[in-house]
Structure 1
Amino acid sequence: MNKENNQKKAKPAGNLSLAAGLLKGLNNERAALDQRAQPEEQVQTPPRSRPSAAPEPIAAIAIPVSTATPNGNRFQIPIADCISNPYNPREFYPESKVQELALTLQRDGQIEAIKVTQLPQYPGKYVLIDGERRLRAKRSLGEKFIDAELRSDTTPAELYSIAYRANNDHERQTIFDDAIAWRRVLEERVFVEQNALAERVGRDKAYVSKVLSLNALPRPILERMAEFADRVGLQAAYFIKLIFDKAGEEQATRNLSAVIDGKRTVRQLELAVRDLTTPSSSGKKERARYHQRYDFKTDGQSFGQLKTFPDGRINLELIEIPATQQEALADKLKEIVESFTNAKPSASTSV
């Protein structure tokens, strides 16, 4: 009986021992977490229940390139020691986009590290492979350091190719960035000719050639095209380039504005190029052939011409007509022409 009573009394003791053990373990875990949250100089010897961990890098102290592990080691570097990728596929960085990213970094911190490498021609510096926009955003905030990953890529082709792929993974560079970057890598013999470049970027030679031709445009036009790249595609840009070749910067700028505002289509650009090409191929100036001309203007801005010719032709050209109004205007013009045609025989009879 005594033995049975002793066994009953032993059970609570065992339960208490188990609870005490769990409580002790929780306390040890909490102590370890509290210890990690303390500044490094206040950290004591870690509990025996957890292996000691290497302290994290101290903020605002850059690890020298020579001591960093290539391909994946994240550390902090001084922004002042960063050099832009000399073969960066992206040329245009709208300030509004940089400021948007700066606000995001200020609110959420830097999630993804930039990628850098070291080149012998820039001793003690970090050459950017990917992360130019993050670098500009950090710099605009007045920050001195940025998180980076060191890579071992050093050839010009590697610098371009990795940045090209990284841009595609994030926000792809525009065709206008490509135009300038592709000309640069060809001029510097990073790729010996267009076929090698086309193969590397996964495009056919005709596409690459058309993009490269955009370098004939003035920088301000290219910058505006890049700003509205969602509205100006390669075909529109190419026709504007042809208009620039034949009629100059003013006409090219006007047509670009019409495209951005949705007032001119690719087909209309193509027709404009054809009109510019036909007179030059005949070797005659159009102004010497028409009989009368009437200019349509609004607020001092011309939006078309009506010309009559000695041989009986009438030429009407209207530009920058909003797409939503084109069909209605065309219907009215057809109505006028049909009315005139139907009335013409009776007029001849009366005469």
Structure 2
Amino acid sequence: MKPSQFAKGFKARPDTTSSEKRTALDRLNAIDGMVSNEQVNQPAANGRSSAFTPDQDLDSSAILESDEFKTWRRSNRYAAGQVVELPLKAIKPSPFNPRHFYLKASIAELAVNLAKQGQQQAIHVIPDYENPGTFFVSDGGRRVRALKEANKETVKAVVIDLPIGIESYKLGYDLNVQRDSQTVFDNAIVWKRFLDDQHFQSQRELADHLGLDESTIAVALSIAKLPENVMHEMVARPDRFGSNMAYQVTRYHTARGTDATLRLINKILSDDLSTRQVADIVKGRATALEAPKVAGRQRYAQRLEIKLDGISVGDLKSYGDDRLELRLRGLSKQKRDELLEQIEQMLQSNAAKQ
């Protein structure tokens, strides 16, 4: 990559040794292997307080590091891989964050958990060398937002050695893909911005860097033409709105506009339309009001939307005289297990009465 493709004040380091040829994800895993939560001390002030412990091995020769990070680490007496507590006001989003959409309901739920249990996993941050005492989030943007909503003042963090640029984006992207939390809508917004800001000169260059087919980039850039309020209606249901479905919705929006598209999205969810059915609607073979039926698919008789704390989490559908189908999403493991236990108790109680 050209130096100009990174944010001002940062540059790519040559990748010349076998150790440095590990992926950014491998490098982060190596750092995580050194982390011990027992190293957390008192909150840091300006990144230079007792949170940075002088009794650690400041050379950390096992991990290759940039000159900028080495200088920062030594001046702050920070040991690589150490967990420290930093003020939340010192943490800021990275301009190369792979995520664009954060669901309010998900942040609110995490905030409740953090308020009850505390932060269990440290985030990863990168020093802003041009603004001492501040840090960019490399991994953990959702936790930062939840901690702020929970009115916390500090965050547990590991400071890592990465430039704020495409390399840090690729690291976050790889992590999100592993967690299944990266959506086509995040990609659409961020990849379009990369090309608009000329971090990449073409779709091909971006595809090569990410290791993706160019057609994947092209589809995402088409989806980027959708208004964000339309994307918001689909972000919460990645199981229903993958690349192909989102692309068909984009085509429909081009022809029919926002209001009609929002109605189509509701139809997709309520009637469980397939991508093929939506494609037929786009092509004019069917209307959004009368979508073609897939052979063998039974139409439900009733649908009840399920809400928890006022937030939609799924639905309950009835088919014929003897079939119920419950679909829930976005629940914490604790809430899921509680619901399963309640359903099991209800069924056992009914069986005993019979």
**TM-score band w.r.t. shorter chain:** 0.5 to 0.7
**CA separation in 2, counterparts of 1:70 and 1:224?**
44
**Equivalent in the alignment of 2:44:** 61
- Pairing 1:226–2:235 present: yes
**CA separation in 1, counterparts of 2:274 and 2:103?**
25
Once the two structures are superposed, the pairs formed by residues 334-345 of structure 1 within 5 Å of their partners are none
- Given that 1:102 and 1:141 are in contact with CA atoms closer than 8 Å, whether structure 2 keeps it comes out as yes
Match of 1:108 among 117, 130, 141: 117
**Equivalent in the alignment of 1:152:** 161
Once the two structures are superposed, the pairs formed by residues 192-203 of structure 1 within 5 Å of their partners are 192-203=201-212
How far is the alpha carbon of 1:116 from its aligned partner? Answer: 0.8
Match of 2:280 among 250, 271, 286: 271
**CA separation in 2, counterparts of 1:244 and 1:231?**
17
**CA separation in 2, counterparts of 1:269 and 1:57?**
52
- Given that 1:91 and 1:181 are in contact with CA atoms closer than 8 Å, whether structure 2 keeps it comes out as yes
- Pairing 1:208–2:191 present: no
Match of 1:325 among 299, 306, 316: 299
**CA separation in 1, counterparts of 2:264 and 2:178?**
32
- Given that 1:157 and 1:191 are in contact with CA atoms closer than 8 Å, whether structure 2 keeps it comes out as no
**Equivalent in the alignment of 2:81:** 72
* Alignment CA distance shift 1:320-1:94 (3 Å): farther
How far is the alpha carbon of 1:234 from its aligned partner? Answer: 1.4
Structure 1 outlier segments of 4+, above 3 Å = 55-58, 68-71, 120-123, 319-323
AA aligned to 2:264 is N
* Alignment CA distance shift 1:69-1:184 (3 Å): farther
How far is the alpha carbon of 1:71 from its aligned partner? Answer: 4.6
**Equivalent in the alignment of 2:137:** 128
SS, match of residue 325 in structure 1:
coil
**CA separation in 2, counterparts of 1:259 and 1:103?**
32
- Given that 1:118 and 1:126 are in contact with CA atoms closer than 8 Å, whether structure 2 keeps it comes out as yes
- Given that 2:123 and 2:157 are in contact with CA atoms closer than 8 Å, whether structure 1 keeps it comes out as yes
Count of residue pairs the alignment pairs up = 235
- Pairing 1:161–2:170 present: yes
**CA separation in 1, counterparts of 2:288 and 2:178?**
43
Q: Normalising by the residue count of structure 2, what TM-score does the alignment of the two structures yield?
A: 0.60
- Given that 1:118 and 1:154 are in contact with CA atoms closer than 8 Å, whether structure 2 keeps it comes out as no
**CA separation in 2, counterparts of 1:244 and 1:69?**
52
Q: Deviations over 1:267-309 (max 9, x none)?
A: 1221222228xxxxxxxxxxxxxxxxxxxxxxxxx975xxxxx
- Given that 2:94 and 2:164 are in contact with CA atoms closer than 8 Å, whether structure 1 keeps it comes out as no
Point out the structure with the larger helix share. 1
How far is the alpha carbon of 1:123 from its aligned partner? Answer: 3.7
* Alignment CA distance shift 1:303-1:124 (3 Å): closer
Match of 1:237 among 217, 231, 246: 246
- Pairing 1:81–2:90 present: yes
- Given that 1:89 and 1:177 are in contact with CA atoms closer than 8 Å, whether structure 2 keeps it comes out as yes
- Given that 1:114 and 1:128 are in contact with CA atoms closer than 8 Å, whether structure 2 keeps it comes out as yes
Structure 1: segments with no counterpart, 5+ residues: 1-54, 277-301, 305-317, 327-351
Higher RCO, Cα 8 Å, sep 6+? 2
Q: Normalising by the residue count of structure 1, what TM-score does the alignment of the two structures yield?
A: 0.61
How far is the alpha carbon of 1:82 from its aligned partner? Answer: 0.7
